Each structure stands twice: as structure tokens, then as C-alpha cells.
Chains A and B, each alone.
Chain A
Amino acid sequence: MKLPLSWLRDYVDVDLPPAEFAARVTDAIAEVEGWEVIGEHWDPELVRVAEVLAVDPHPNADRLVLATVNVGEGPRTVVCGAPNVAAGQKVAFATEGAMLVDGHTGKRSKLKLRAIRGVDSAGMVLSEKELGLSDDHEGILVLPGDCAIGASLVDAIGDVVFDVSTWANRADLLGILGFAREVAAVTGQPLREPDLGYAESGRPASDFVSVTIEAPDLCRRFTAGIVEGVEVGPSPPWMQQRLARAGMRPINNVVDVTNYVMLETGQPLHAFDYELVRGAEIRPRRARPGERLTTLDEVERDLDPEMLMICDGEGPVAVAGIMGGGNSEVSESTSTVLLEVANFHPGSIRRTSTQLRLRSEASLRFEKGIGPDLAPYAQARALHLLEQVAGGRPAAGLVDVFPTPLPSPRITLTAARIEQVLGIAIDPAEVRRILTALGFEVTGDDAAYEVTPPYWRPDVALPDDVVEELIRVHGYERLPTTVLRGALPAAQPRPLERVRERVRSLAAGLGFQEVISYTLTSDDILGRVVAADDQDRARPIAVANPVASQHTFLRTSLRGSLLTAYAGNRHHEDAAMRLFEVGVEYLPTEADLPHERPVVCAVLGGQRLERWERPGPERLDFFDAKGAVEAILDDLGVEGSFEPGEEYALLSGHTAAVSVGDEAVGVVAQVHPEVAAAFDIEEPVFLLELWFEPLTRAIPERPDYAPPSRYPEARRDLALLVPAATPASALLEVIRTHRARGVRISADVFDEYRGEGVPAGRKSLALALRFRAEDRTLGERDVVRLEQGLLRRLEQDLGATLRA
């Protein structure tokens, strides 16, 4: 909201500099987002108020005139090109050296006077543009009539306009008077209310119009005032200037008064041309099926039966609380005005304005909730102004239909509650001062106040609402900093999150860079990594209103995100890249929130760095990816098993399913080259993924423990020939399960070889065997015996033979 300081000062004295005022307002009332100083560049000596005494033709130019002006130092002649200059006007007048905005170039420069078409000019009569007020350079700025001749312009119309962001539950702060009341409470100044007085003329308003509320649930109160004999025309300069500073365009004096009173009080009003109200009756009612109305913005609106209409004897004349209809609009020929000031159900106004996609200054106020008693107040103020600026004669009284006035809520606020919520007590005198200044009625004793909020504060309903009023005005800086007391809540174990965070740190420790991707993706990207027949993943959840079409679907796989990140960075990274992300797959479920399945996914590939930080000939490969998985599982205290696997988008023969015990916990693979190519990755790229839910289940609460053996282990290396298709894991599994009384045998593979010396169809695997007895040191003969037993078993089970 635009808050002109000059307008605010009608109701409350403010003498703080703008920055300090803004800080006080932000602390206690609403957020000041900035302010604009009007007249910052106007030199008080060189830019002053002048009166136009006469306007004469220019002897040498049809489009120019000679204006005689008085700046309090006798008549002076200036050349002027403005079409609107007229005798009797107060105008802004600049003399040589004044800093002005050039009307054509828009740049700021010092005024240099010169003869125009042979006539010397004593100065310049200024447009809004030249004063830096707006881009309007059509004519000169006409000043309010009460500006003193010869006064500095900055004193006459200089101002500070604050830009204030107010709250969704405070319609009263969308009125400058409401704002002033808050400022008065905060600064301790008195509030001056505006003049509501007017002279009623003979006939009562009820003779002119009848009002029947047919939808009392949506229209809580309707007041109608009548003003006869108005002369529609421009409103006076002072009113136009205020409207413009508050951000509204002046239209005519009648409409301007309704806008002025709305900006002043926060209560929207609407003026009808009384002659166009058919049947001299007003009926607020729900729209009928098929009814339509062309609103003032010349759009024909389809109405639905939940929308509240203001109707006359024949049909809709306004969308209640949002916008009037063109059929009853005030025009030049209007002489009698019907002034509507009503109160509507806030939710209904909001629903209707959302449905019509029509937000107006009125609807923005109504939807926040306005007290019904503001209606007669705003009526009186508007009638006062219509009498002043449109020459109208208000009829006697109002038509005021208010079916069910609600009693003012009475709130009991105990001093104990204040202290319970805030942690400090507030002095009873201060409590009463603050609440009274804000318009609340306070009775009761100092232990239990009885508080009645003013009618313009329907947002205050509970004792804690009143506590907020107290502390914000009292000052949050008076709140001490204390520490929480009391017992700590019982801890809930969250093993999955613990494993997830551990893996996150491990991945970074293993050289992977963490990335975080948008979780909304496109079906194109998902389709590259998810099989069309994947029940869980091929039908991702869509959002209705994506910020962009490539962010329409909740990802059911992180793989596309990581491959995208890999490809994007490949443009500027020469060497190996390792990226990982921890996130969730959003898997649809039947009629419930999706299953957010937590995973870590990583991709890696590229040339390993050499000594000189240059990419060398060796590339990262499958076993780098697998090594990372092994390192992670090892750190978590479990051993993974890896079996050949098949998965969509992964290269067959280069894919391993990872499991721990009975749980399938992940996958490690080379990404299928065609899938990689779809992401513009033209090199082998590898992927690993671990699934936190099964992984967490697979981790034992306590790791297996055995004390270190007191006896040394015996080691033997040997090379075995096995069928080429036999995986090393089969060999290791046989060895792991081989039982030799009292002796533990373990083994690692340390070489794989095919080629010369190895028969076709077979491969050689080199094994490092370790034998350890629990009760003795093994001798050479023990080891030979054990080894032979093991070899027999391997030959039997797998056809393995000792390589010669």
C-alpha cells in the first residue's frame, strides 16, 4: 500500500525522519518496503508556487501562449506550450538554474532560459514530468488552490510516500486512518478523526430507494445514501493529488470521493447513477443461473449462483464487493447518486473474485474482513465530501439494512496469561494505554482485563490476539532472551535418517560431489531411465500448474537428474567426475500420499587424473563404482553380495544387483551407452544406487565381533582354472561355506586372466587364501591338507582345477 506522509499527517503528527519512521512502523505495525521522497530535487528558492494571472496568444506561434504569472514579486511573462494553462490556476514555476527533468530526453539538467520565438521567458511553468512526478508531459501540473503564492513548491506539495506491505487479516491497515491510529498508539500522539458532518436536505433517503437483502449470509449489512444535485466533473487538485500519490487514477469527483474514502477508511464504496437504478430498489442476492453482467472494465462476466450480486428491480447492477456494472455507472449526466456502503462475507468475495479472475481494490479489502460498523462511518464521510467537492445535497438519513448485528466480542485477558505467553508482565497502566489507543475498550481489574475490540478489528477474537497487540506496541525489544526449561522429550530412534546421513558423508569422503536437483522433471527425461512397464515408476505423479513444462512430473528415479548434471558439467570438466544425490523417488500409491522412497544415486566416469592434474589414459570403470558401494557397505558394517543383473537403461553384462543378506539394497552398473547418448554423454558412464529402506533393515543393530586370534594365520596364493562363465563370487561362496574343523578359511580374488596358457572356455582366477585356527598355530602339513580338501570341493562343485 502507498502511504503518503502528507495524508497521514491529517490524522496524526509525525515528525520522525523517514528512515526512523519506517523502522518504528516495521517493528510494530507493518513492513515498510521503501519510500519515495517527492520534491527531493526541488530547490526551495528556484521552484515555487505561482498564480496564473492571464493567458495571451504568442505573437509568433499558434501553439504557444504567453502566460502572466505572479510569484509574489509582481507579474512576469513566460512562454508556455501547455494546452491546459488557464488564468486563476496555481502552478509550479521554475527560474534559471532550477534542477529539472527534461520533458523530451527525460534527463535531469539545470534550467537555462532563452528567448522562444522572439519572446523572452522569465521562467517556466512545469509539467509533472519536469518535476519528476510522473511521465505526464501533456500539460502543466495544476496545484491545489490553497497553495500560497511564492511558497517553495517542496513546502507546498513535497511529500514522502511509503510503500507498506500489510497483513492478510488487517483490512483496517488498508486505510490511512487505520494506519494513523496505529502510529498514534506507537508514538503516543493523539489521533484526529476526519470531518463527518454534512447538511441533510428534506426528503429521507428511504423515499428514494428500498433495500431488500435476499442473501443475508453473504450480505451482512447494506447502507444506501442519496445525494441530489451533484455536478459531475473533475475533483479538486488536492484530492486528485492525494489519489495519485496513493496510486489511484482520478476519474471524476463522485468516483474520486468513493476511492478517497476507501483509501482513507479501508471501507470500499460504490456510487450508482440513481436514475439508472431500475425500480428504485436494491436487492443483494445470489446470481441466477445464466445471468451475466458487463462490469466497469467492459468485460462481460458469467455469473454463478454462489456469487453475490447487487441487483436493482430488474437484474444485476454490480458484482458485490468487487466491481460495479457498466449499466449503472456514474457519468457526466448524473445528477443524483446512490451511494452503496455495504458489508459482505469475506470468503464469498474472495471465492467470487478468484472465480472471475478479478481482483479490485474493493475485493482486496473485503476479503480480509471488515467490521460492519465501518459502513455508516464511511457513508457519513463520503456524504461530507460529496457535499464539499461535487456540490451535492445529501438526503436525510440512510437506508440501513443490518439483519443480524453481532454483539461485540468480549475477551477476558488475565495478567497471568500475558506472562505465560510472553515471559514478562506488562504494567497495567501500559496495558490500558496501549489498548485504549488502539480503540479497544478495557474494563475489569488488573488481574483480569475485560477487553472489547473495536469494530474495525474483527481479527481480534482470543486473549492471545490481545497479547500480540500489547507486545508489538510495548516493544519486542523489551522481551528478554531466556532458555527453554523443563524436561527433554523422549528420543525417537530414526535409524533410516542416520544411515542416510552417514552414507551422504561417506559418498563425499569417497570423492563424490553432492548435487541437489529439481525434484520435478519431464516425462521425456524419466522415460529415458524408466522402463515403460515399470509399475511403480512409469506413471509419475503430475502437478497441475508447473512453473515450467520441464518441471511437470515428480521424479520416480534420480538417475535422469544425475545424468543430466553429469552431461551439463562435461562441457567444462575434462577429467573424471563423480556426482551423487540423496533424495526420494515419489512413487504413486492408491488414493494416498505417494511413497517417498529414499535413495542415494551416484554417477561417475571419465579419465582418471594423472600426476599433473591432467586426464590420463585410464578411465573410471565399473569397478570404481563397485568399489564405492563396497566401501559404503563396509563402513556400515555389512558385506554386500553382487550378482549379475538386468535392468532397463543399464548395460547388460555390466550390471550387478547388490544385496545384503536377504535384502536387495541397490544396483551398480554401466549406464547403457544409448541411454547415455540420449543425455549427450558420449563416454562410458557408471551408476550406483542404494535404497535406504532395505539397507537400514539389513544393518545389524550390533556388528559381529570376534576377538583377534592369538595365533598367526597361514597364507597361500594359488591360481585356479574355472569355466569362463563362473563368477568369482561362486568360488568365494564355496570357500566361505567350506567347513574345516576349527579352522576359518577366507579368500580374496587378486587376478583374473584369460588368454595364452589358459584353455579356451576357461579363465584363471588367482586367490589369496588365509587359514586360521582358533586354538593353535597351523603347521605346513596342516595347510597342505586343508588346501587339498578345499581344492577337491572346488573341483566337485565348480569344476575348478589348479593351474599348472
Chain B
Amino acid sequence: MASISTSIPLIRFQSNSFKLTNKFKRQILATGLDFRPEIRLLNCNFSYFNKKYRKKERDFVFRVCCSSSEDSDNKFVGNEVEKEKDIVELEKPVGKLQETVDSIAPILFGMKKHISTNVAVGLCLAIAFVVISIREYLIRKSRSNHHGSVEDLVKRGQLRSDRRGISRPLKYDDPFNNPLVKVSKSNSTVEMCGKVYRLAPVTLTEREQSNHQKRRSRAYQWKRPTIFLKEGDSIPPDVDPDTVRWIPANHPFATTVNDIDEDLAQSNVYQKRGVPFRIKAEHEALQKKLETLQNEQKLSKLVIDPGSVKDFERPFKSFSSHETQDGNDSTPKPDGSVNSSESTTSFDELQKP
């Protein structure tokens, strides 16, 4: 019953609110719907409440739209009552009830004391609505503002659509709680990728886990080898034989011979910038060769100017090159690739005549 009668003010507003913009109408409908449960609760003096509520709504409409005077308000109300009567006649089953509603109506119209509170409520609702609509607008705007995204690169064929993932906001998608994973209410089944599976809880306890650990520590006693030796080698004096791992001499993937010593390998790994050790060594060897050649042929005029060499090598300088370089400043030792190509060209020129 209650729901039928409350639907009437909604109808009325739809027919009457020609002055309202779409948005306002929507807002009113929304508030009307919000009130519905309350009305159902107050079943006893339902008709009274209904009128009061209706009046509240109307006041709100007028404050928002044109802030009309009181008498126009009343006229408007009269109009509405008539219209409502028409509606009531159409709806026979609720006719009786609506008649009582209308008979109480004029009494209620005299109650002006609610108006001040109604103004406040209306104002609050209006402000809230304006804020909400502005927020909505801003969100829509930012959402549609996607020009120049990676999507465009895909459209232009610069990026393969299946090879990109970086721009997907799926980044923080919870894999336990996404649309493809649905757990049933009883937690006994789960639906994944369209298939339903039965679930069983994991029963492993801490004690079982530690029992397994104990069993394993009895079964497998092991000390991780820390040194690898080729089969046939002798064990170094300070090494615990238990920690030696013997590698067959013909092991397909492993070798125990290192052409580089441990400290150097470590510093190679830790090197952050500069020319890698091996490359530098090769350049230095080449440079040495060139120098000896130059000394032999006594062509001192074609020696590269040491000053310019210094300029080139600065960016390539690294910690290990300093020791070799500090001793003899007089002889140039370029180690950059630019220098080496330059020196080889000069070397070619030397050979020509």
C-alpha cells in the first residue's frame, strides 16, 4: 500500500516540474526514493507523513528554481491537489486511501512552521547536489582526456598491442578477488574462468611440518661444498675435505679453471662505470705495441700530442688505471676507443711512405 501511494508524488513531480532541468528532476526522484522506507515504517499516520513529505519536496523545488513567494506556492499546491485527484480516480484500488489523504491535506497546508527547516534542508541538498555534479563532471573530463596515451602508439603501429603491459592499470588488481574468481557463499566452491571447483582446506599443521623437517635432517646429512676441484687435483692444506666438490674434468657445463684471479673477478663485478677491465687491458696492449713501433722507427714528430690524449682519456679513467699511469707521465697512454682508432690511422700513415 505504502509503496503505491508514495509513487504518486513522484508522478506528480514528473508532470509538474517543467521548469526544472533534467538534473534537478533526477535529484528529486532520488530523494523521493530515499524516503520510501521511512514511509513504510510509519504505516499508522502514513497519510499525514505523506503530505508533509510532499510539501517538503515542493518547497525544495521552489527554493532551488525560482524562490517564489508564499501565495504562488499555495496556488501551485491547489493545482497539484486537483491533478492528484485525477490520478486517484484512475487508480480505483487506492481511491479510498487517497481520499483521506486529500481531506487531511488542507489542514497540513496551514503548517508553516516547518518552512524554515525546509529551507535549510533544501539549501543543503542543493549544495550537495552541485558539489556532486561538479565532481562528476571533473571525473568525466579527466577520464576522456586520454590523448597521446600508449593506446595511440599501438594504433600507429609503433607498438605491438600484445607486447605492451606497462600502461595497463591492472597493475594492482587483486588476483584473489577479481571477476574471474568467484568464491561461493559457503566457501566450499570457487568459480574460475567459468568452471566450478570444489574447495578443500589445507590441513598441514606446524607440527607436521617440523616432523617432516626432522625426518629430512635425519635422512639427508649434507654440508654444502664451498670449493670445487677438478678430479685428480690435490686438496689444498687449509680446506676441509667435506666441503670439496669434485668436478669431472670433462664436465659439459662446468670448469674449475679460471683464467682470472678471484679478487680481480670480484672487482669486475662491483665495477659501476668506466671501461671494463678486459677491454682496457686490450687497449693498453695495443698502445704498448704502437709505442714500441714508434720508438723503433724514431718518428717522434708523429707522436700524438700528450695534452689532447689526456682530454680523451678522462672520461674513461677508472680506479685501476691510475697505478699504472702515475709512474710515467711523460709517455702517453690513451685507452679510449677514440684514441686507439686515431693511433691506428697514424700507424697506417706511418706505413705508407
A and B: real partners? no
Q: Residues of A with Cβ closer than 8 Å to B?
A: none
